[in-house]
Structure 1
């Protein structure tokens, strides 16, 4: 993965604890089991997909499974809600300890997918960055509390009304330090977007990345636009500049793509973002949504 390692060792250890036989051969993982048996498993570190995989496996395992130091992201709660609607017995999702009582079978159900909190945060950051006035509808404010708090410190006005969030950018953007953390901390998937905001803020800010070891790849591209950013280890120091200048840049991953689009919206002149196919993994028609808000943005191919 471009942004850092994504090991699956905890996934495999958890499945083995439930009774699966795991074999690694020629770059593939083969897992076998006649019937999984519930057990107690502790994650050495919280992992979202690891928690989700073991929660799904335990739902049909025999007996009780307890997952400790589980991830707490809203997506895990949403998955547990769906599994429970299908007949599973899962308690504690959203907390660090999840208890799953295995059931013989699951049945079909209908579900509404929860709003994407990172897409929500991206449009919130864009509003603050461009000193705009944007209302995001059909979102879940509780899922983006850390982003709301940071944007208020930046100087933006943030109003929450039910399932909508209105962000009004301030004329002067304040510098704020950020440290990425597992949920409910500030999300690593918003680090690049927030770095763009800090690149035109007043003063110095420090962004510390604690989740992925190589998630500052976008820094070199932001420098092309005039950002003043220095990276040292897992921290980036950003000295705000009066404005960014348009230039051709290249996206390296999903969130870097979004950050470069935000930078282009705020920059003087024309910005061309290449390799935007990364965007489609996490955003649906983002250029059309920004265009509807008044941005001069389009996809050429």
Structure 2
């Protein structure tokens, strides 16, 4: 196991270009299975989730090659429709291969997925959508194996009771392969869904209504080789903006669509942070103690649940009492217990967290329980007195190319080390 050490307090300052979006590239990698040829993705982040998905695709007979941030996927020799349980357990995003493999082979076998333990995140809506398109799906206990088959996918009208990103992605893959028109209503409107639709259209699909909650797909069209440039990761951008806010920093983040972060920038302004924005650039300057705010998470365009742990970390040192209401994942407050070890005054009850800001946090030994929570502890440590050690930092590496490199470039005293002390990054 590895850990990250941070010495605070420090004031980060400088500029960063955001890496490609994790939540955009993973479904595109799954969608590449639909094309019987080569897909090229540019601006791909070199993160563990990408390497994991490459491994899954390779196990199915695909050929994946990542050169720098350019990924080439050749699916012409894919010969498998079943993913092994061990591979599925490493990453929740692997569930989206269910719809893609079903569209390619009319058969797919997967297991209930793994990933961060931040909530139940049931896949019922995924299965209902695929069944509506003509799939027969058997679920076996206790291993959670899902076997999907169809004699032919057919277009249908599907209404989602909740805007689930993953369910919409699986439905899109199957709908692109289905014969006839599919109408998806109640869709998630996250920017990553929009990127995926544009990517699929670039392969030859026909998807209309992009950016709305109603998508119309004309299925069964021939697909072809394509190239697509991944947009910047809005959650990584938000990470460094909230890092600057929490430690009186001054940071410029570019390479991300500013409009995708309107919920965050609005909250930052209410917290007393100065901002300047251009279409693909955000500048923040925090020169005083933050003001307390009340925020509720929700599906896009509401405040993103993935940024809630970072906001909690920043508000731990704000002036006054803040309230956070989590409406997406029931276990998203797991980071609160770790922040309490650093002196934060946080009380959680159900889906509500009350945060009474303290003037200072102190360094402590804390544990990364999940991807965003671990990164949020790293952000909190920037403003804490003394050394903080964040253990199990492998969670963080699922979504960040190198958080230590990025924060060091902004002036932080931070390093990644192995538990035995034999290895240490030296960038």
TM > 0.5? yes
Answering whether residue 358 of structure 2 is matched by residue 225 of structure 1, we say no
1:208 to 325, 338, 341: 325
SS of the residue 2:239 aligns to: helix
The offset of 1:39, in angstroms, is 0.4
Is this contact kept in 2: 1:87–1:103, CA < 8 A?
no
Equivalent residue, structure 2, for 1:189: 306
The offset of 1:139, in angstroms, is 1.2
Instruction: Map residues 144-155 of structure 1 onto 2, 5 A cutoff.
Output: 144-155=261-272
Return the alpha-carbon distance in structure 2 between the equivalents of residues 269 and 113 of structure 1.
38
The offset of 1:284, in angstroms, is 0.8
In proportion to residue count, which structure has more strand? 2
The offset of 1:94, in angstroms, is 1.8
Is this contact kept in 1: 2:290–2:317, CA < 8 A?
yes
Equivalent residue, structure 1, for 2:125: 10
Return the alpha-carbon distance in structure 2 between the equivalents of residues 199 and 172 of structure 1.
11
SS of the residue 1:35 aligns to: coil
Equivalent residue, structure 1, for 2:224: 107
Return the alpha-carbon distance in structure 1 between the equivalents of residues 210 and 398 of structure 2.
26
Return the alpha-carbon distance in structure 1 between the equivalents of residues 244 and 315 of structure 2.
13
SS of the residue 2:211 aligns to: coil
Equivalent residue, structure 2, for 1:143: 260
1:240 to 339, 357, 363: 357
Return the alpha-carbon distance in structure 1 between the equivalents of residues 146 and 210 of structure 2.
27
Return the alpha-carbon distance in structure 2 between the equivalents of residues 6 and 107 of structure 1.
33
Return the alpha-carbon distance in structure 2 between the equivalents of residues 172 and 216 of structure 1.
24
The offset of 1:34, in angstroms, is 2.5
The offset of 1:44, in angstroms, is 1.3
Answering whether residue 273 of structure 2 is matched by residue 174 of structure 1, we say no
Number of matched residues?
Answer: 301
Mind listing any 5+ residue stretches in structure 2 that lack a counterpart?
Answer: 1-115, 419-427
The offset of 1:229, in angstroms, is 0.4
Answering whether residue 173 of structure 2 is matched by residue 56 of structure 1, we say yes
2:194 to 77, 86, 91: 77
Q: Which moved more, 1:19-28 or 1:291-300?
A: 19-28
1:33-87 deviation per Cα after TM superposition (whole angstroms, max 9, x unaligned): 1220000001111100110110111012101000010100000000000000111
Is this contact kept in 2: 1:290–1:297, CA < 8 A?
yes
Q: Which moved more, 1:100-109 or 1:263-272?
A: 100-109
Is this contact kept in 1: 2:259–2:279, CA < 8 A?
no
The TM-score normalised by the length of structure 2 is 0.70
- Structure 1 moving runs of 4+ over 4 Å: none
Is this contact kept in 1: 2:232–2:256, CA < 8 A?
yes
Mind listing any 5+ residue stretches in structure 1 that lack a counterpart?
Answer: none
The offset of 1:240, in angstroms, is 0.5
Higher RCO (CA < 8 A, seq sep 6+)? 2
